[in-house]
Amino acid sequence: MSGPGLSAPRLCVSALSGGGGKTLLSLGLARALRGRGLTVKTFKKGPDYIDAAWLGLASGLPATNLDPFFLSASALRDLFARSLKAVHVPGRETLALLEGNRGLFDGLDVAGSCSTAELARILACPVLFSLDCTKMTRTAAALVQGLLAFEPGLHFCGVVLNQVGSARHEGIVRRAIEAHTDLPVLGALPRLEGNPLPERHMGIASSGHWLAEDAEARLERMAALMRGHLDLDAVLAAACAAPPLSLDTLETPEPQTRTEVISGTAAAPSDVTPVPPKLCPPVSGAGSEVRPRIGYVRDAAFWFYYAENLLALEDAGAELLELRLVSDDADDGPEQDARWQSLDGLWLGGGFPEDCGPELSRSPRLPLIVRLAQQGLPVYAECGGFMLLSEGIERDKAFWPMCGLFPVRASFCPRPQGLGYLAGRVVADNPFFPVGLELRGHEFHYSRCRWQGEAPAPALALSRGQGMGLMGTPPHKGDGLTRWRVWAAYAHIFAPAVPCWAPNFVSAARQYRKEKELCASR
């Protein structure tokens, strides 16, 4: 990792589509190369918690998310370089392994904006392609030819045949690709009797933040599969052949100015005075003030937290406290009680609260959350966190009461109600974002809002995404509810793309702490 730019072995694993084998290949490679003594730093293209968590487990280091929808090219290169340098051990090779999402060229529009291919170009990252060869022989060569010629500026370093039915099948496909293209075949993975990864919804399953009871055994089997069917030496050589990555002058990312991939503008509800678009204000240092305590719930129900978001809060001056709502007796002792009582701010992340409805509904800490919110505690709730603050969760004809801060029920559905990128304008006062801010985020939820009365005006008027559906009068597609110092929405944010979020959260928590101390002194 030296030179005028960043010299680091790196690979981007992609496929023709979702379900094309890139996750199996990425996880197996990460674990197999780690077993060779390399430091493997994994990255996931796109907003993603579950795949990223599995990648982190496979490599032994937290994965980092990278996405052109949120960050400019220079900011992406900066985050990539900083992430690699943070884990680099002198004298030990560090390899960057990036797993793409969907198909290689799939993006927001026909131009492929924000695709894996765009990210691979930005990072000058060689592409290792997983090709599903199910019921296919010579046609595989035509597909590879098309990939090589489709877009300029990409470097393909090899192809891995996937779902190969027999030695004869492999031989025909391999010879066809070698005869008609110059892309080397670096391995062939056999058709497996069962999926080595547990499935849930539209991606990998998880059992809370523990992922799966047999996760380590599954990863070891995937690594063994790679060692037995891939030319790992050739894969490493391809990664090491990546050119130095030119790094731009470091800059504060301002993705809100990049509007070319968002169609339309956010319409403000009729009862909100329109305001011009606003960027996040400059971020100032934390100073020497006392560090306010911001708790975040991480347990079987809530564990969707980007490491970059946690780091942003710490950099802004917060002391982070890990909390539980769903826990065993060993986790739920005096230390947890003390943490909850000492809070200056609370972050309720996403996850699968619908899987823990009865346990959450019985939690004695739900009334505490309500009481703290009424007292002015800053509470930031994303997706599953919003569901916790609703009147309750409905699923399979059952209803589990929750905090009841907002007059809405989260009704669970068999299909996604919001999936993908989300964008809009902040239109309601709150402690976390300035009114007028053009906000980018993402959503992934199977629940929809069932309002108990008229749907209120949204805090975020959407130009992209589903959010909470139609809100306000007249109705506009929106997301986000506010009350006291509480923000609750389906939207997830990525802190490097919203640099004002963490300082504002910490500032609100510090103000709450001062108010507590003032009341205690009287």
428 pLDDT higher than 60: yes
Q: State the pLDDT confidence band at 285, using cuts at 50, 70 and 90.
A: very low
CA distance 426 to 462: 9
Largest pairwise CA distance in the chain = 84
Q: Is 516's pLDDT higher than 90? A: no
Residue 358's alpha-carbon distances to 301, 353, 391, in angstroms, are 11, 10, 14
Q: How many residues does the chain have?
A: 522
Say if CB 39 and CB 92 are below 8 A apart: yes
How many CB atoms are located within 10 Å of the residue 453 CB? Answer: 7
Which residues does the annotation mark as catalytic?
383
What pLDDT is recorded for position 102? 92
Structure confidence at residue 473 (pLDDT):
85
Q: Which residue has the higher pLDDT, 69 or 200?
A: 69
Q: Among the listed ranges 125-139, 248-262, 296-310, 364-378, which one has the minimum average pLDDT value? A: 248-262
Torsion sign, CA atoms 478, 479, 481, 487: negative
Model pLDDT, residue 105: 95
Does residue 206 have a pLDDT over 60? no
Phi, psi at residue 206, to the nearest 5°?
A: -155, 160
Q: Are 266 and 423 in contact (CB under 8 A)?
A: yes
Residue that wins the pLDDT comparison between 332 and 461: 461
Per-residue pLDDT, averaged over 318-338, amounts to 80
pLDDT digits (tens, 9 = 90+) for 400-425: 999 999 999 999 998 888 888 999 99
What pLDDT is stored for residue 418 in this prediction?
86
pLDDT at residue 446 is higher than 50: yes
pLDDT tens track for 376-400: 999 999 999 999 999 999 998 899 9
Tell me, what's the pLDDT at 329?
55
What is the Cα–Cα distance from 424 to 265, expressed in whole angstroms? 8
State the average pLDDT over residues 216-242. 93
The count of C-alpha atoms lying within 13 angstroms of the C-alpha of 40, restricted to the half-sphere facing its C-beta, is 27
Report pLDDT for 331.
60
Q: Are 404 and 370 in contact (CB under 8 A)?
A: yes
Q: Which of 425, 418, 154 is nearest to 269 (CA)?
A: 425
| Structure confidence by residue, pLDDT tens digits, 21-36 | 899 999 999 999 999 9
Rounded Cα distance between 512 and 522, Å, is 16
Question: Please, which contacts does 472-476 make with residues 24 or more away whose CB atoms are closer than 8 Å?
Answer: 472/269, 472/270, 472/271, 473/269, 473/270, 473/271, 474/269, 474/270, 476/267, 476/268, 476/269
Residue 94: how many other CB atoms lie within 10 Å:
18
CA angle 77, 52, 115 (to 5 degrees): 50
Quick one: which of 464, 475, 417, 456 has its CA closest to 439? 464
* C-alpha to C-alpha distances, 364 to 141, 217, 368, 490, 501, nearest whole angstrom: 61, 36, 7, 25, 30
Which of 137-141, 166-170, 174-178, 330-334 is least confident?
330-334
Greater pLDDT, 172 or 202: 172
Q: What is the pLDDT of residues 165-190, one digit of tens each?
A: 899 999 999 999 999 999 999 999 99
Confidence of residue 261 (pLDDT cuts 50, 70, 90): very low
Q: Which domains does the chain carry?
A: 10-240 (3.40.50.300), 291-521 (3.40.50.880)
The Cα 429–Cα 504 span in angstroms is 13
Residue 13's pLDDT is what? 97
Q: Does residue 110 sit in helix, strand or coil? A: coil
In angstroms and rounded to an integer, the radius of gyration of the C-alpha atoms of the chain is 24
- Two tokens, residue 71: 């960050």
List, as one string, the DSSP characters of 253-311: --GGG--TTS-S-PPPPTTS-----BPPPPPPP-TTSPPPEEEEE-SSSEEE--HHHHH
Cis check for the bond before 475: say yes or no (omega within 30 of 0).
no
pLDDT at 199: 58
In the numeric block, the tokens 């990648």 are attached to 55
Tokens standing for 211? 């992922």
